[in-house]
Amino acid sequence: MRKCLFGILTAVALIPANPTLAEDDFRPMVSGEDWLWQRIFARTKQEPVRSAILKHMDAVYRKYEQDGVDGISQEDYDLGLQLARVKYRNDFLNRHWLPYDLDGDQIVTHQEVEAVSRNRVLKNFSVEGVRILPTSEQLAELEREAVADTLKNLGEIGDGIDFSEAVMLAARMEEKTGVHRGVLGAIRSFMSLDRDDDLRVSRAEFDAAVLEAFARIDSNGDGLVDADEFAVAERERRAFKASYDKELKARRAARGVQYTLRNCKLPKVSPEHIFALVSARYSNAVANIVLGDHEDAALVEQIVVEPGQAKLVLALTGSASTIWRISGAVDRVEHIIVGSGVRQQTETNALDFEAVVTSGVTGVEANKVTFAQSPSCLPFLSKPEDRERKKVDATLKRLTGSALDHVSVVMQKNTVFVPSLTTERNAPLDDRLMLPSTGPGETLRQRFMSRYRSGIIDIDPARVVANGKARSLDVLPSYAGLAQLLDQGALEAVSYSLSYWVGERRYTIEEGGAEAVPDDVPADKVSRFPSKFLIKQKIEMPASLCDDMVPRFSLARGVPLPTFLGCHPRIMIEETGETLICKNVFRLQCRP
């Protein structure tokens, strides 16, 4: 009863006062004659007889005649638009608001969101489909994530969100998605069938247009579409579609930049300033902190400002979460714009073209830093000659008012000098952590240093200007963290892997497995490192290990599950024989 009443109230509350046609729809207008012709052609594949076509088109007319008054008109569009909006908003509220109103007072509070989120997390926590009880730490962390997901739709709750506020939220979401545009577009096309200019397509006008459209296919007028007539119509349909697609592509291109950059607000750049872009990929230095909700530790790029008189505006963008350390003649820096690559959504692995990769800056004041609102505002470039380069140039000129003076794309280099844009691969970095040179984890540290040659940089989170929270890591990232846990005795190596190079390709095999190292590979060119571990104590899983294959872990009996930032390698639980697997493994949060 409550849901029924809720739906009725919502339907009344959400009908807009002056619904209009979607003038902002950039799709090419299709005439009513062409719309009917295409619909009839598609139907002739099943029923090539005129009588069957007329029966089918009768159902089409009744579908679009919405208000019960004879004829298709603007009023039918208005009513259909209202009904589509009501349905969408009811669906939104029933999904994102009503399930959280636990006491039925039509106000959703933060406490209610937390209670529902906790219940859902607890109900869905399982290993390989077997429900288990999470630790209190895991439950709290997953509850926070579930609450954050809910608040993406509800926004800041404050003292609570009542019914009228929820209606407004639903209305804004409906306008943003424009879900009502599709089907109702046919009514706009039909208006060209209005022969007597009374602003209404009568049944007689509609039927006459249907017969004319059928006659365009049934060229001999015998009431039956034969194979030859169908083939001619098929060629006409393909030509029409090609022409339509070409015009649609042109319109999308014209509207694309404006739509993509609709939320971008970057500072203007004076022509007197030097405007330089640095795009970084795979830095060989990593920080001992994570930014935002990332599971990988932030990479580190050093920007050294060279002496000079002219002021600089720097556009900095990277493929991964990055901390940009600004040093040198920092007084020359007028402003810094930070962009990013495109993130992947946590639950779906799909690209989220509106979500930025969290990054940070040190060495300059916060008021000199602007973070791009989406990846489109300042995209990541993977190559200097990337086909997106012209697009980036045009985007920044449109948003900042100035063209780029210099562009540099760096890969596995830790230092860039500006404005000359010279680079160094392994320049010495301040605050580098000294790692032990001996101990059980030594081979893992060597493996870590082969990837991060510049090591781990100790950065104070309080000194980072970022578009997300900066958090220190208690355990070092990646294989350096595994080495740390081995040295502490929290982990025990139970099996090893062998790694070697053949030409330019690196191979890794399991020691004692079916494969063997080729005889012509010298023994000193083979590295041996632990690849499977027994977890002997309660640990925090190192960051940057979002991989469900290697390394592998077993959890000793009686030892609590590790805590982790969101993703982890696979963990076999000896007590139950089950395996905890992270389903989303590429820099994503898994859901056990």
Q: How far is CA 165 from the centre of its chain?
A: 27
Same domain, residue pair 510 and 552? yes
Helix axes 389-400, 227-260, angle to 10 degrees: 50
Kindly state whether residue 196 falls inside one of the protein's structural domains.
no
- DSSP H or E segment with residue 315: strand 312-318
Q: Which of 144-158, 169-183, 211-225, 428-442 has the lowest mean pLDDT?
A: 169-183
Please enumerate in sequence order all residues whose Cβ is within 8 A of that of 41, keeping only pairs 6 or more positions apart, or say none: 217, 233, 234, 237
Residue-range definition of the domain harbouring residue 305: 274-424
Kindly state whether residue 349 falls inside one of the protein's structural domains.
yes
Kindly state whether residue 345 falls inside one of the protein's structural domains.
yes
CA-to-CA distance for 291 and 467, rounded, in angstroms?
8
Same domain, residue pair 408 and 312? yes
Kindly state whether residue 204 falls inside one of the protein's structural domains.
no
Q: Is residue 510 packed enough to be buried (19+ CB in 10 Å), middle (13-18) or exposed (0-12)?
A: middle
Helix axes 478-488, 442-451, angle to 10 degrees: 170
Kindly state whether residue 7 falls inside one of the protein's structural domains.
no
Q: To the nearest whole number, what is the mean pLDDT of the chain?
A: 83
Helix axes 163-177, 2-14, angle to 10 degrees: 60
Kindly state whether residue 434 falls inside one of the protein's structural domains.
no
Question: Measuring CA to CA, which residue among 570, 575, 568 is closest to residue 590?
Answer: 568
pLDDT at 66: 81
Q: Do 402 and 271 touch, CB atoms closer than 8 A?
A: yes
CA-to-CA distance for 206 and 188, rounded, in angstroms?
14
Same domain, residue pair 449 and 399? no
pLDDT in tens, 245-258: 888 887 777 666 67
85 against 23, higher pLDDT: 85
CA-to-CA distance for 287 and 300, rounded, in angstroms?
6
Same domain, residue pair 405 and 448? no
28 against 540, higher pLDDT: 540
* Overall domain count for the chain: 2
Same domain, residue pair 529 and 571? yes
Structure token digits, residue 486? 């081995």
Please enumerate in sequence order all residues whose Cβ is within 8 A of that of 202, keeping only pairs 6 or more positions apart, or say none: 70, 71, 196
Same domain, residue pair 326 and 390? yes
Kindly state whether residue 324 falls inside one of the protein's structural domains.
yes
User: DSSP readout, 340-377?
Assistant: --EEEPTTT--EEEEEEPP-EEESS-GGGEEE-SSTTT
Same domain, residue pair 492 and 536? yes
Q: Is residue 249 packed enough to be buried (19+ CB in 10 Å), middle (13-18) or exposed (0-12)?
A: exposed
Q: Which of 180-194, 236-250, 471-485, 578-592 has the lowest mean pLDDT?
A: 578-592
Query: Which pLDDT band, with edges at 50, 70 and 90, does 108 fall under?
Result: confident
The pTM of the full predicted model, rounded to 2 decimals, is 0.60
Same domain, residue pair 400 and 519? no
CA distance between the termini of the chain: 36
Same domain, residue pair 411 and 480? no
Q: Do 380 and 392 touch, CB atoms closer than 8 A?
A: no
Same domain, residue pair 500 and 562? yes
CA-to-CA distance for 35 and 27, rounded, in angstroms?
14
Question: Measuring CA to CA, which residue among 330, 303, 328, 305 is closest to residue 316?
Answer: 303
306 against 97, higher pLDDT: 306
Same domain, residue pair 369 and 489? no
Same domain, residue pair 412 and 479? no
Kindly state whether residue 308 falls inside one of the protein's structural domains.
yes
